[in-house]
Homo-oligomer: A and B are copies of this chain.
Amino acid sequence: MRPQSLRARESVLAATCALLHEGGLPAATVDAISARSGVSKATIYKHWPSRTAVAAEAFGAEMAHAVPSPDTGSAAGDLAEQVRRVSEFYASPAGTTFAQLLAACVTDPAGAPYFREFFLAGRREAVALLWRRALERGEVDDEVDVETAIDMLFGPLIFRLLSGHAPLSREEADAITTAALHGLLAR
């Protein structure tokens, strides 16, 4: 039997990346992806369950290198730096695309797994690495779960990105990191 064409997958993902750059998720319609990639709509729907899934995979692949993990020597410092970088990324046009993608997953249950696998997983693993390094050095509390820590550091940024109720400046990022590291209770 003829195997699914790698070429098709790849040109779809490339075309989708380009479209996401040009106009965010709204520009990445299935028709547009089909037209630009030369891959038919029917074939796209055979490879992915929805356009959100395509976009998630395309965006995830591209963003793998967009926010490289820092290595400052201080593990806690690395976490702070990472929050700063991610905050900056979210404030950029690509951040808008990320927000659209995350929003689309709410509406499109079929796309959500793709988003988690191709976008979130990579990003979370990068932070998990920093966390484990910090743990080894005894800099962070070993009773806190990695997942909880990640959500604590980045959840606030994402909430702000989506609802726009507060800015995503460097200062705000640092305020969040500080509060997260030291806790809200009076010392």
Min C-beta distance of A154 to chain B, whole Å: 7
Residue contact B164 to A176, C-beta cutoff 8 Å? no
CB distance from A165 to the nearest CB of B (A): 5
Query: Does A156 lie at the interface of the complex (its beta carbon under 8 Å from any beta carbon of B)?
Result: yes
Among the listed B102, B104, B158, B163, which residue makes an inter-chain contact with A120, where contact means beta carbons less than 8 Å apart? Answer: B163
Chain B nearest Cβ from A129, distance in angstroms = 15
Contact, CB under 8 Å: B163 / A159? no
Could you tell me if B175 and A148 are in contact, using CB atoms closer than 8 angstroms? yes
Take A145-B175, A155-B155 as given contacts and tell me if A105 and B162 are in contact as well, using a CB distance cutoff of 8 Å: yes
Determine chain A's interface SS by DSSP, over half rule. helix
Q: With A and B bound together, what is the CA distance between A180 and B154 in angstroms?
A: 13
- How far in angstroms is the closest Cβ of chain B from A175? 5
Given A26-B107, A107-B26, A155-B157: A140 touches B180 (CB 8 Å cut-off): no
Contacts of A151 in B (CB 8 A): 155-156, 159-160, 166, 176
Contacts of A153 in B (CB 8 A): 184
Q: Which residues of B contact A99 (CB under 8 A)?
A: 106
Besides the known contacts A147-B166, A181-B183, A182-B183, 11 further A-B residue pairs in the complex with CB atoms under 8 A apart: A99-B106, A103-B106, A103-B162, A112-B163, A120-B163, A139-B185, A142-B186, A148-B179, A152-B156, A152-B179, A153-B184
Q: List 30 A-B contacts (CB under 8 A).
A: A26-B107, A100-B106, A100-B107, A102-B106, A102-B162, A102-B163, A103-B103, A116-B165, A120-B165, A124-B165, A138-B186, A139-B185, A141-B179, A141-B186, A144-B179, A147-B165, A149-B179, A151-B160, A151-B176, A152-B152, A152-B155, A152-B156, A152-B184, A155-B157, A158-B159, A180-B180, A180-B183, A181-B183, A181-B185, A182-B185
Identify the A interface with B (CB < 8 A).
26, 76, 79, 99-100, 102-107, 112, 115-116, 120, 124, 138-142, 144-145, 147-149, 151-160, 162-166, 172, 175-176, 179-187
